[in-house]
């Protein structure tokens, strides 16, 4: 575990560390004050590398950081914190972005659970609309950017009601043909990680991987229950409870869209954010043929009483035909 930087330390002759606001296996995220812009608070994300790795791997990892930071610094969207600077000190790299005040959605969900209630669907769908805007922006960059770690704790609600996707730690940039250019670190959070992100399905991630995590996040926010790990679901495909069995106030439309996004295999999910948004917000949006299991089941199994009627009718027709043939 990296040794945290002490409060009061000034990085890059500019950023005075105030406190740690996040910590992971490859470094910390600090609240800092930009001394060139007095009073401006920022978040400084630290990446520390394992010096036990071969020098060639370390050099490639640091090159990846530089490439990603350069791309992130060009992004400009109201639901994303602005990346304003990046630099290196010794064996550590740093990414500087806007500090986003407010509570994250995980905190709001915990508060609702403590009150033995659920977050209102209307609020969750408002947040979903903002998340979708941010993801569509990322996915339509050239090359596209896949976040790979959508989850409630990475979504902050500002005091004015604006939602921000605050962590860029796991973004992945894709070249045409979905060839991976860079991958900064990690594999995402297990509760929201799709099968392909483990390398167990198609072996690569794309926009549909973010859609899976997006669906898992909405499931958690609306039910107070995390979605089952995909490894468990792979062994038992029917193990994930329907959202409305946990919270009956969820609309059928919302439940249908969420479970479509949570399909195990990428080809069974919405192809892009626009398709998912349509399923979430448009009343007559068509259901996925893969989601509507009843479409895939034989009618005789699906509705046995109708099967008996069909069978009886068929026997009557055959009997009538035999009678006509004998009379003829």
- Find the radius of gyration of the CA atoms of the chain: 25
Query: If you search the block for the tokens 């921000």, which residue do you land on?
Result: 164
* C-alpha span between 57 and 302 (Å, rounded): 55
* Residue 16: count of CB within 10 angstroms of its CB: 16
Of 34, 133, 149, 206, catalytic? 149
Q: What stretches of 1-54 show up as alpha helix (H) in DSSP?
A: none
Annotated binding-site residue? 6:
no
Q: Is 328 helix (H, G, I), strand (E, B) or coil?
A: coil
* C-alpha span between 134 and 72 (Å, rounded): 13
Would you give the distance in Å from CA 6 to the centre of its chain? 33
* C-alpha span between 256 and 288 (Å, rounded): 9
* C-alpha span between 96 and 41 (Å, rounded): 10
* C-alpha span between 65 and 71 (Å, rounded): 10
Q: By C-alpha distance, which of 11, 52, 55 is closest to 33? A: 11
* C-alpha span between 142 and 188 (Å, rounded): 23
Burial class (CB in 10 A: 0-12, 13-18, 19+), 172: buried
- Is 149 in the active site? yes
* C-alpha span between 209 and 98 (Å, rounded): 26
Question: Residues at the annotated binding site for ATP?
Answer: 45
What amino acid positions are annotated as catalytic residues?
Answer: 149
Q: Which residues are annotated as a binding site?
A: 45
């Amino acid at each position: 575990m990296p040794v945290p930087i002490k409060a009061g330390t000034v990085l890059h002759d500019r950023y005075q560390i105030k406190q740690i606001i996040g910590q992971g296996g490859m470094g910390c995220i600090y609240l800092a004050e930009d001394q060139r812009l007095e009073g401006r608070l920022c978040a400084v994300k630290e990446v520390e590398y394992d010096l036990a790795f071969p020098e060639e791997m370390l050099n490639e990892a640091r090159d990846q950081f530089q490439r990603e930071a350069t791309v992130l610094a060009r992004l400009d969207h109201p639901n994303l914190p602005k990346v304003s600077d990046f630099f290196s000190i010794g064996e550590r790299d740093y990414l500087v972005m806007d500090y986003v005040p407010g509570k994250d959605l995980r905190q709001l969900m915990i508060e609702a659970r403590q009150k033995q209630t659920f977050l209102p669907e209307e609020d969750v769908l408002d947040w979903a609309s903002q998340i979708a805007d941010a993801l569509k922006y990322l996915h339509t960059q050239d090359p596209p950017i896949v976040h790979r770690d959508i989850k409630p704790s990475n979504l902050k609600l500002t005091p004015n009601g604006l939602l921000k996707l605050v962590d860029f730690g796991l973004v992945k940039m894709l070249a045409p043909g979905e060839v991976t250019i860079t991958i900064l670190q990690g594999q995402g959070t297990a509760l929201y990680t799709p099968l392909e992100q483990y390398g167990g399905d198609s072996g690569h991630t794309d926009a549909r991987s973010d859609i899976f995590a997006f669906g898992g996040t909405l499931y958690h926010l609306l039910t107070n229950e995390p979605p089952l790990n995909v490894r468990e679901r792979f062994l038992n495909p029917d193990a994930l409870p329907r959202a409305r069995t946990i919270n009956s106030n969820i609309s059928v439309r919302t439940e249908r869209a969420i479970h479509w996004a949570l399909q195990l295999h990428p080809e069974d999910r919405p192809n892009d954010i626009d398709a998912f948004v349509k399923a979430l917000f448009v009343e007559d949006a068509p259901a996925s043929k893969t989601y509507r299991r009843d479409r895939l089941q034989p009618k005789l199994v699906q509705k046995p009483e109708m099967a008996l009627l069909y069978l009886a009718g068929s026997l009557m027709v055959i009997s009538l035909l035999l009678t006509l043939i004998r009379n003829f």
